[in-house]
Amino acid sequence: MQANRPHGAATLPLGVTGFKLSDEFGLALQADVDVPPNDRGLGLSIDAKRYFIDTKARWFIGNTVAIQTGHKLDPWVVSTGLAYRF
């Protein structure tokens, strides 16, 4: 099955007509902390997440797989927030 997504100029000389990424389940780990810097309603939040997902990319010529690659996606996502209660 092909997806109608852009497949990049580098694959055009190969005759590639389609591209698809596999849909996979993954794992996510999360840790966070909320810190009250004062007693006047101010709050600081710090959050860190790490995702673990494996996926396959396939490039097609017609209905035939021309190239297949495996990828491990494991990014860190770190965020902070500031809150005020009134």
Position 7 scores a pLDDT of 56
pLDDT in tens, 24-69: 899 999 999 999 988 888 999 999 999 999 999 898 888 888 889 9
53: β partners: 73
Position 50 scores a pLDDT of 97
Please give the Cα distance from 49 to 62 (Å, whole number).
Answer: 39
CB atoms within 10 A of CB 18: 19
pTM for the predicted model, two decimal places: 0.60
How many domains are there within the chain? 1
Residue 27 lies in a domain: yes
Position 1 scores a pLDDT of 47
Residue 86 lies in a domain: no
Average pLDDT, stretch 2-7? 50
Instruction: Using the predicted structure, report yes or no on whether residue 2 has a pLDDT greater than 50.
Output: no
Contact criterion met (CB below 8 Å) for 34 and 43: yes
Residue 1 lies in a domain: no
Closest CA to 28 of 81, 74, 65, 64: 74
Domain holding 61, by residue range, is 16-77
